[in-house]
Amino acid sequence: MADYNKPIPSPDPYVTQPFWDGAKEGKLMLPRCTSCNRVHWYPRIMCPHCYSSSIEWFEASGEGYIHTYAVQNRAFGPWGEETPYATAYIDLKEGDRMFTALRGVDAEHPETIKIGAKVKIEFDQASDDVFVPYWRVVD
């Protein structure tokens, strides 16, 4: 935790708290509409698919697949010391998509990273209250 030098998200107590509470326990909590049953990401107070306000949180598998990626050869601040690193959009097994800095890949050789590769979530403790999710290729 003392080592975490990246920008730390500010949890929003009105909408996203269940996600961050789950993160502290190493669980991926996702919002799901009880009306149309679809998952959406980022968390909302109204379902973007059917506009219902009945949203529940559930523990997801923490698994997904690379939708697309890039390798950041230039960056600023603490991330500047990590170049090159891969970033990716992750298709969640339960639906919708998250952004991440990708682990378990060789960013020096971007062409070795495979779209569709299976990834699993892990959490880094960034502060007392915030655990930041990362995704790692496990294929």
Q: How far is the CB of 61 from other proteins (least distance, A)?
A: 18
Q: Tell me the C-alpha distance between 116 and 69, whole Å.
A: 10
3-state class (DSSP) for residue 99: strand
- Burial of 109 (C-beta count, 10 Å sphere; 0-12/13-18/19+): exposed
Is residue 39 within the footprint of other proteins (CB under 8 A)?
Answer: no
* Residue among 35, 101, 104, 125 that touches other proteins (CB under 8 A): 101
Q: Tell me the C-alpha distance between 56 and 41, whole Å.
A: 13
Q: How far is the CB of 59 from other proteins (least distance, A)?
A: 18
Q: How far is the CB of 96 from other proteins (least distance, A)?
A: 8
Binding positions for other proteins, rule: CB under 8 A: 6-12, 14, 16, 41-44, 67-76, 79, 82, 84-85, 87-89, 97-101, 110, 115, 132, 134
